[in-house]
Structure 1
Amino acid sequence: MGWIEHTNVRIARSPVGKYFRLDGSGHPKERKGSNFFTEIRAGLATFFAMAYIISVNSNITSQSGGTCVCPSTSPDLCDSDPEYMLCVQEVNRDLVTATAAIAALTSFCMGLFANMPIALAPGMGLNAYFAFTVVGYHGSGLVPYEVALTAVFVEGFVFVALTLCGLRQWLARAIPNSIKLATGVGIGLYLTIIGLTYSAGIGAIVGSKSTPTELAGCATLNKDGLCDPSDKMRNPTMWIGIFCGGIFTILLMMYRVKGAIIMGILLVSIISWPRPTPVTYFPHTPLGDDMFDFFKKIVTFHPIKRILGVQRWDVSEYGGQFGLAFITFLYVDILDCTGTLYSMARFCGAIDERTQDFEGSAVAYLVDAFGISIGSLFGSPPVTAYIESGAGISEGGKTGLTAIVSGLAFFISIFFAPIFASIPPWATGCTLIIVGSLMAQAAKDINWRYIGDAVPAFVTIAIMPFTYSIAYGLIAGIMTYIILNTAVYVIEKASRGRIVPPNKEDKEPWTWRLAGGIFPPWTVRLARGKKDFWRENDQAVGVVSDRQHSEASSAVHNPEKTVISGEKPAGENLS
């Protein structure tokens, strides 16, 4: 063995290796195939795939104007007010720091406490809803920026309550298996759409008038936001992204070259930084000059000045609007984060097929929930788990070390923001497409034999990319499943079992009575009188009988009753 293999073995056998359950650590739940250097490489891959969020989130959220006050009643007229636009630019710089800081904190905590290779950051889609609907362009929306941040702060603590009660985990586990598999596939296609667009990809597609999308690839969009027919497929940055960030990366992956994704992203970025070239990320325009001036600083720290802790706690005059913003943030975030966490957990092989849960799910949800509230204090829209974590998982990330490395990289980016905020979207676009193709493999495990399972799964897959929303895809798939299968159940009962689908035996079984119960394991241990109820019991991992599960649930509902046998409740096996 070389020094890398020797180091991997030594770290795996150390307390660090056992804590993170590296392969060879001797932990009963060690993650097979995981090792220290692979986790580092995976964490860097996740970071580089997510680095665009530093600049993209700041650009989107600052369009709300932040705490800047527009002197005109028309938001559009504020664009010509130099003082106001300088204030908006300051908010933009604040958000660069805030985005990197909250991504660093939450990703590090996810890895350290939940031991999952999943990074977090302010959510794409959620930030657009925050900026353009809740606060509105230059403050023309439902509530002021300060009130919107209050809604986000409260939402985070509601998540904490739902998680401690076990309802958030149970809701996710109660989703039918085909829908959960379809969620991973739909997120893969959602990633592909992102990778193909202009905002965070190679710019190969754009919206259209006669069709939802059309082929793009032009250097500039016209006044309607479309490509002129004569200019399509002529953008050199798109071709650089395709060949250097896509084809080159895939070839390296075919030959199993370690760090292929990182190499592709770095190659495209380095090609795009010099000016003037046809593929430069810093054209000679006012915006390009400003970006290049920021890039040349290399190392700098911009403190958060205008948006730190600006919540407005008296929301009485915005009661209805505040409630609407709060409820929307709540249901979109719970579905978005739930779908992402479970698809990423399945992608890295952490799902327990018996309980349909993953190790540390309660802690993972708590990290996400507290991250939402802390992020709002930084002035950021809601934080959520990122589907770009699939980039690190595809590099071999299996433990929390992946997320910790991503968090540390985000922390470093606070001081190197000019560099990390200058990774062009066409450098990461093909990475998202590649990860999407890997996630789409789950489609083969969907129950296509029974149309009552197949159609809801397909609806989930289709709606996610076509509506640009993970949450809407889950809603559509679950509602389709409920309507179809409830109708079959009612017809069967009304006909006394005479009218049933011919191949109903092919349907996947579903029940709300899930292994592990509704309540989280710590409540079961607390009800049994275990003093250190936050720790798992030292017992072998295996299939637990229905009787044990029943006793565990009974202990929660009736804590005054004791379990007669010496067997321990099923819930105590779960983390």
Structure 2
Amino acid sequence: MLEKFFKLSENGTDVKTEVVAGITTFMTMAYILAVNPSILSAAGMDQGAVFTATALASLIGTLLMAIFANYPFALAPGMGLNAYFAYTVVLGMGYSWEIALTAVFVEGIVFIILSLTNVREAIFNAIPKNLKAAVSVGIGLFIAFIGLQNANIVIGGATLLQLFSLDEYNAVNGVEATFNDVGITVILAILGILITGILVIKNVKGNILWGILITWVLGIVCQFAGLYVPNPELGFYGLLPDFSGGLSIPSIAPIFAKIDFSGIFSLNFVVVIFAFLFVDMFDTIGTLIGVSSKADMLDEDGKLPRIKGALLADAVATTAGAVLGTSTTTTFVESASGVSEGGRTGLTAVTTAILFGLALFLSPIFLAIPSFATAPALIVVGFYMLTNVVNIDFSDIAEALPCYICIASMPFFYSISEGISMGVISYVVLNVVTGKTKEKKISALMYVLAVLFILKYLFL
């Protein structure tokens, strides 16, 4: 049955190889079960409910990938997109998280339509290659910046931002924190970054997840030793999992089906949807092509067979994830770890999906992991995204300068969508003014996007 459905021998693999690959993929991306609730809770969402939504969205999306495309790729709420959801759309623009979920839902519907037609290719081809790489790099810096803030390694100060100091932290926040609550967590976070870095360099399977767990365990040791003293008033809680309720699954009710269409009739909302769609589309296609090329799945023309099914799985998972109550669900680049273990079919994805289902019963563990332990994961994932900078052609200033503006705008303006806006506007304006439009073959869609973004700044 497995042979017939997944075509194992045709793809040069077997059940054992696929199962091991699926376990490996889960290990490398299970950190999202701790990180996503932490990020979305900043938008006011219930952390336990987000954990459940994250696990369910990952399970559904990964199963759909196996069914629609028979590929060994796993899906989960995407890093960068969750940060954009919480820190830009909700905290920055002032939308409620319900309206932000609506934007994700609409994006998913649009993505389904685009995945069933050839419009997706037109949009993908309209954006210059260098600018696509720049978006990924900018998101990487943005995520790393959030990680540094969550760990209190970077705080506000006389120079706008500065390295952590206890006196400055108390002055900025108007509190009386001590070394035994905030101070020790900063040290633990820095240790966590180093530990995760060592694991990455050593190519340890599941390095990011292991980095989180080791940092958390070090925190528990410090709590037992009296070095870390919980201070709930300042947001520093006990680090031990609460199993008093058993291994029950947190209720999804606080965030389930909370779609709100009341704020959709505005240009800002359109920009939000476009930003979600833009990042998801290019992140997904880039991941699919990158991972599949590593697995030698591309055809002689460099195209990925059954890519329409893979994109459709991504789109349906995003729509379902929004209803469940989480940010955009997308294909994870960590799928490469399972591919490197020999995963070649949807059986790898099914194995990963089953493990996400089992993880639902381990919520007390994932929800007890503190932000200082997940911060190193954000910083290291930011590094992975930053490596796309090598795909930017810096020898052509007309290409490189808009990319630089796009990259710098995301962390400095604290917004992914502002970075995309600035990148598109500067790319069009600089090339038009310098007479390079014919040489660059700028698409009509780029002109339309530039005009829309400029109008946004003029009238909003």
Give the drift of 1:255.
4.0
The letter for the 2-side match of 1:206 is I
From 52, 74, 84, the equivalent of 2:35 is: 52
From 352, 357, 362, the equivalent of 1:416 is: 362
Distance in 1 of aligned mates of 2:275 and 2:353? 24
Cα deviation digits, residues 214-266 of structure 1 (max 9, x gap): 212659943744899997997222322333x3333333444444444343222
Counterparts of 1:204-243 in structure 2, within 5 Å, are 204-208=153-157, 210-211=159-160, 213-216=161-164, 218=166, 221-222=169-170, 224-225=172-173, 235-243=183-191
Report the CA distance shift for 1:255/1:417 in structure 2 as closer, same or farther (over 3 A): closer
Q: Is 2:11 aligned against 1:37?
A: no
**Is the Cα–Cα contact under 8 Å of residues 94 and 304 in structure 1 kept in the other structure?**
yes
Counterparts of 1:22-421 in structure 2, within 5 Å, are 24-25=12-13, 37-58=20-41, 60-62=43-45, 93-110=48-65, 112-114=67-69, 115=71, 117-121=73-77, 123-128=82-87, 131-132=90-91, 152-198=104-150, 202-208=151-157, 210-211=159-160, 213-216=161-164, 218=166, 221-222=169-170, 224-225=172-173, 235-243=183-191, 245-273=192-220, 275-277=223-225, 283=230, 285=232, 294-297=242-245, 299-309=247-257, 311=259, 318=262, 321-324=263-266, 326-345=269-288, 347-348=290-291, 350=293, 360-378=306-324, 380-385=325-330, 389-390=332-333, 393=336, 396=340, 407-421=353-367
Give the drift of 1:452.
0.9
Distance in 2 of aligned mates of 1:146 and 1:247? 37
Report the CA distance shift for 1:385/1:361 in structure 2 as closer, same or farther (over 3 A): same
Report the CA distance shift for 1:242/1:113 in structure 2 as closer, same or farther (over 3 A): farther
Distance in 2 of aligned mates of 1:20 and 1:195? 43
Cα deviation digits, residues 125-149 of structure 1 (max 9, x gap): 2144564578x6xxxx6x7x77775
SS at match of 1:206: strand
From 388, 391, 397, the equivalent of 1:442 is: 388
Cα deviation digits, residues 70-129 of structure 1 (max 9, x gap): xxxxxxxxxxxxxxxxxxxxx554444333322332244345535364532272221445
SS at match of 1:197: helix
Give the drift of 1:273.
3.7
The letter for the 2-side match of 1:242 is I
Distance in 1 of aligned mates of 2:33 and 2:9? 23
Distance in 1 of aligned mates of 2:10 and 2:136? 25
The letter for the 2-side match of 1:332 is A
Corresponding residue number in structure 2 for 1:455: 401
Distance in 1 of aligned mates of 2:156 and 2:114? 38
Corresponding residue number in structure 2 for 1:571: none
| Seq. identity, % | 24
SS at match of 1:56: helix
Larger fraction in helix:
2
Unpaired runs of 5+ in structure 2?
445-460
Distance in 2 of aligned mates of 1:328 and 1:159? 15
Distance in 1 of aligned mates of 2:402 and 2:149? 27
- Count residues in correspondence: 428
The letter for the 2-side match of 1:47 is A
Distance in 2 of aligned mates of 1:488 and 1:20? 56
Q: What TM-score, normalized to structure 2?
A: 0.74
SS at match of 2:312: helix
Q: What TM-score, normalized to structure 1?
A: 0.61
Report the CA distance shift for 1:121/1:36 in structure 2 as closer, same or farther (over 3 A): same
Residues 435-444 or 286-295, more deviating: 286-295
From 457, 468, 471, the equivalent of 2:414 is: 468
The letter for the 2-side match of 1:268 is T
Distance in 1 of aligned mates of 2:176 and 2:7? 58
Give the drift of 1:299.
0.9
**Is the Cα–Cα contact under 8 Å of residues 140 and 383 in structure 2 kept in the other structure?**
yes
Distance in 2 of aligned mates of 1:465 and 1:353? 38
The letter for the 2-side match of 1:101 is L
Distance in 2 of aligned mates of 1:478 and 1:353? 32
Q: Which has the higher contact order (CA 8 A, sep 6+)?
A: 2
The letter for the 1-side match of 2:217 is I
**Is the Cα–Cα contact under 8 Å of residues 104 and 322 in structure 2 kept in the other structure?**
yes
The letter for the 2-side match of 1:417 is S
**Is the Cα–Cα contact under 8 Å of residues 142 and 410 in structure 2 kept in the other structure?**
yes
Q: Is 2:425 aligned against 1:479?
A: yes
Give the drift of 1:410.
3.3
Question: Quick check: which has more Rg, 1 or 2?
Answer: 1
